[in-house]
Amino acid sequence: MEPITIDVTQESPLGLLQIDTSISFKPFIDFLERKADEERTVKRTFFEMVLGKLRANPAFSEKIPLEDIGRYKEELSLIYGMLMPPIADEKDVCWAMSAPVNPVVFYGTSGFYDLLMDSHTGGIRCDLEHDDNVDTKTHKLQMLYSIILERCYDLPEIYKHELIVSLKDEKSGLQKYYKLNIDTRFCEIYPKDVLPKLDLDAVRNEMHDSFDIDRMTEILPLSLFRFEGFSVITLKDVTAEHAVESIKNTILDRASIDSHTYFTQVTSALKMLTGDDQFNFGSMPILRVNNKLVFNRGNVLYSKLMNAATENGMAESMYLGMADEYLKAPKPMLVHELTQEFANKKDFGKLLYNDGVRSYALLPVFYDNKVVGLLEVFSKNPNAVNEPVLHKLDVALPLLAQIFKNYIDEFNAGIDNVIREKFTSLQPAVQWRFRETAWHYMRDKALSPNNAAIEDIHFKNVYPLYGAIDIRNSTIERNIALKQDLNLQFTLLIETFTVLKKSLGFGLADEMIFKCRKWLEEINDAATDNDEMKVRDFLELEAHPFLQHFKEESLLRSFGREKEDEGEVLLRKRIDEYFAVIDEYNGEANSNRKALEASMQMINSSVNLYLDLFRQEIQQSYPTYFEKFRTDGIEYDIYIGQSIEPEKKFSELYLKNIRLWQLTSMAAITRITHSLIPQMQRRLETTQLIFINSSSIDISFRDDERRFDVEGAYNIRYQVIKKRIDKVHIKGTGERLTQPGKIAMVYFNNKSAEEYVGYVRYLQEKNTLLNDLEFLDLEELQGVTGLKALRVGVNLDATWD
């Protein structure tokens, strides 16, 4: 213990202020007297003995100039002994006494002086850790005013008397961090005059929110106070805590820093934890696609082993081979001394040895009980990496697990982004194939950015099931609704032009009336195929601008008149009434089309809901691809087969099961849409159609349409038939195959028909279908001959499950 005087801070803003401060040990003597009076154990004798020695020199109870402090080594040693455990080794303890306000140290342990003083220059070598968001001067003054307010105004302590000191360790060359605590129990504050009255709530808020130095020194000048006593300074090594906090901050800042900086900051923190610059680190996140390990060059750039393997052209094969074997039973692997003999036995050892590594450890990092990454610790010195070093890293493993988890999430998000960008929204049954393709694209792009291409996605030998729920005569119904609305609109339009002619005597109005009547005749002529676009063009380009013009002219003429012309008032009223009637949302001239659309929407919403339930149900037996298409009604394609789900053995039993489900669901949909008729604004009925294709087909994903389609000349025939059978007629009758209340099943192969006949008989037995099964031949379609059909009625009234 030596009375060496140093200033802990290189720049003390407090020195620039007028502060009346003096060193005194009377506060400590008073404190010890109170402790002795309160004590009833053997400690009291010890306290009294110390007090006797401190009182022996009366000058020690007075104010002591800083330059005279060296005269009192024995007394200072006693105070140290009272405040620190007797068995504490002063070489390991960073403890000191300082002036009461300014942190000018005058007595301390050798550990304290060794830490803060440069052994070469004798100067101080620590700096306060600066934060860009914290003003050091403000922070120190906040601490000082916090003490004043606590002692003189009974305001609870606002700021802890702590600072962070950073310094470079002379041995390791690494930055270390210490928490500097200032104990002010033996510092007395004496007001020199009457204390000013303060709004303590306002002061408290100001101290918390925005500390204004100038304002605080104005309302409560430091010159009002005298500081006597001393402070006790302790330094605690918080490098490990700081390293952990640094990793946390790096994780939070991930979005704003590049991968190299990210890794560098993490490894710097890990070196801080080991306390030795000789250690280096590598990392390998465990990435999987469809639950299979993959090698992503971009994410193993920071692995010592993988970098060495890359230089030898064996990175991917080594990683996949080692990782697959290692992850079967993951546990720490430690090679204390990596020798030539070891390198000759292990391929990975040879790579590391040739790269200069002489001690090496590989640690599995777990997140939620799963290995998410591997941490490498290595050194060029034999036996440097050992158990104590690895133990120091334990505190960082949870954070490293989060980093690896974030890497994995970023990787998976990248694959999902490729899928969204290059493909479409996917169903779980085929998502595995798209993820695999996306991974191959990301891998190839990393190797050759300009030559990477998305590979084709095929599913071979899948069985298709097609169904269509169509709204019967939807085109006819739409034309009827349009005709009814246009009749109302043109009738009102003629009346409006008639009022305009009478009001203004404008001859061109006659021509507009004539055109409107001609359009009305065409609309009501059943033999004429009305062109809705031409009607719209007439209304929007001729009729409506005509009316708007005269309405505006009429308004202009009304300005300045004491009394408006009754004819013009009537004209404007009729024009406004016309535009109100044709309003797109509330106008009566759109009511029939809106009623039709509402009815169609009611049907399609109900069918959609049921098909979604149907899709979920069929996935339970065997994964299938299910895609819906919106027309006036709804069509859907289902594909099932081994290539859809390679991990589960396919059987035709699954195909038969889904065919029965399809027929059952069509019966349910028929009944649902029929039950909606009383709720519809316009009565609509649906027809139900199934196309039975007995053989398998091949499908591929079409990038241009972002959906699956058939491929190959034979398979395209299936698609052609699908497109043409919705309006097919029964051979020799002229009757449409599809009828409300019935399910039509089109087929080529008699064997397939026999299978469906069995399903029909089963559903007839359950009272789902009527006993009116028909076997029908169908008319020839363009390029398609030999089509046949089954048709059966649905029991719309009976109760069934």
> For every residue of 329-373, which 3-state class applies, written as one string?
CCCCEEECCCCHHHHHHCHHHHHHHHCCCCEEEEEEEEECCEEEE
Of the candidates 724, 721, 695, 697, which has an alpha carbon nearest to the alpha carbon of residue 708?
Answer: 697
List CB contacts of 450: < 8 A, sequence separation 6 or more: none
Note whether 97 and 84 are within 8 A (CB): no
| Structure-model confidence comparison of residues 362 and 455, the more confident one | 362
List CB contacts of 414: < 8 A, sequence separation 6 or more: 438, 442
**Helix, strand or coil for residue 680?**
coil
Q: How far apart are CA 459 and CA 766, in angstroms?
A: 37
Helix (H), strand (E), coil (C) string for 112-173 = HHHHHECCCCCCECCEECCCCCCCHHHHHHHHHHHHHHHHHHCCCCCCCCEEEEEEECCCCC
Of the candidates 512, 515, 511, 516, which has an alpha carbon nearest to the alpha carbon of residue 487?
Answer: 516
- For the stretch 644-650, contacts whose Cβ atoms lie closer than 8 Å and that sit 24 or more positions apart, written own/partner, are 644/429, 644/430, 644/459, 644/462, 645/429, 648/622, 648/623, 650/622
pLDDT for residue 706 is more than 80: no
pLDDT of residue 130: 43
| Structure-model confidence comparison of residues 22 and 312, the more confident one | 22
pLDDT for residue 270 is more than 90: yes
Looking at residues 224-245, what average pLDDT do you find?
Answer: 91
pLDDT tens per residue, range 72-117:
999 999 999 899 887 888 888 899 998 887 778 899 998 888 888 8
| Beta-carbon count within 10 A of 277 CB | 13
What per-residue string of b and e applies to 691-719 under the rule 16 or more CB within 10 Å gives b?
A: bbbeebbbbbbeeeeeebebbeeebeebb
Listed in order, strand segments (DSSP E) in 561-683 are 625-630, 634-640
| Structure-model confidence comparison of residues 786 and 603, the more confident one | 603
pLDDT of residue 442: 82
pLDDT tens per residue, range 12-41:
444 445 678 899 999 999 999 998 998 888
pLDDT tens per residue, range 43-79:
888 889 999 999 998 899 899 998 898 899 999 999 9
* Radius of gyration over every alpha carbon of the chain, rounded to an integer in angstroms: 45
pLDDT tens per residue, range 375-402:
999 999 999 999 999 999 999 999 999 9
Note whether 290 and 317 are within 8 A (CB): no
Note whether 176 and 168 are within 8 A (CB): yes
Q: How far apart are CA 155 and CA 224, in angstroms?
A: 18
454: its two tokens = 């998305």
Looking at residues 751-779, what average pLDDT do you find?
Answer: 93
Looking at residues 150-154, what average pLDDT do you find?
Answer: 86
Percent with pLDDT over 90 in the chain: 34
pLDDT of residue 7: 62
Mean pLDDT over the full length of the chain: 84
| Beta-carbon count within 10 A of 53 CB | 13
pLDDT for residue 785 is more than 70: yes
Taking the complete model, does pTM exceed 0.85, yes or no?
Answer: no
pLDDT of residue 488: 92
pLDDT of residue 531: 72
Helices (H) and strands (E) in the chain, counts: 25, 26
pLDDT for residue 777 is more than 90: yes
Strand 63-64 relative to strand 20-24, pairing: antiparallel
> What torsion do the CA atoms of 77, 83, 84, 85 make, to the nearest 10 degrees?
110
pLDDT tens per residue, range 120-144:
766 676 544 444 345 566 777 778 8
pLDDT for residue 9 is more than 80: no
| Structure-model confidence comparison of residues 385 and 717, the more confident one | 385
pLDDT of residue 644: 84
137: its two tokens = 């001067």
Q: How far apart are CA 140 and CA 162, in angstroms?
A: 10
Looking at residues 329-350, what average pLDDT do you find?
Answer: 90
pLDDT of residue 467: 94
Phi and psi, residue 461, nearest 5°? 55, 55
